[in-house]
Amino acid sequence: MKRVVLLLLPLCLLSGTSRADTQIGTWNMTINGTVLPSSCDVDADSQNQTVQLGKISSSVFSSVGATSPNTPVSIKLTGCTNATGVKVTFSGNADADNPQLLALSDTGGGGTLATGVGVEVMNSDNTAIPLNSPSPQFTLKDGDNTLSFLLHYKATKMPVTGGSATAVVYFDMSYQ
């Protein structure tokens, strides 16, 4: 019986405090918006691209920050409607020495991986787009649009050593 009393005592104390709350007012929030159909479709050829950056000699990278030649790449959007702009965010494994770049990865080739370089994504005007950050906005028109980018290797530490230099990048679109 003593145990029952001890358990009931805290419940009695709490029951008095649970009645202490009082309603001091009610407010309304109106939420407006529009659900639009898909703004654009990514063309099938742009969904799973393989971009060749070429065979680059490690001697090209004479210092940290040195780059290989640019390689153009594009993302084609089709059937665009209801959108005036888009921002593209590229994501993937970040380079350990420069997290704004893509890290090189062994994609099953089993060979020696190059070291001291990462892959940089840039706008067509040579402005870097840091990894995991949205690009500046691209203006869209109804119909088809092509978004143009540049890719290159960039030295992140010295010395740069030769080997396989593959990276995987994903892209997300944010329509305006």
Give the integer Cα–Cα distance in Å for 73 and 163. 23
* pLDDT for res 176: 83
Q: Taking the domain 41-46+57-171, which CATH number applies?
A: 2.60.40.1090
* pLDDT for res 75: 95
108-116: average pLDDT: 82
pLDDT of 23 > 90? The answer is no
Give the length of the chain.
176
Name the token pair of 146.
Answer: 């092509």
8 A C-beta contact, residue 95 and residue 64:
no
Place of tokens 């370089």: 117
Place of tokens 């994501």: 91
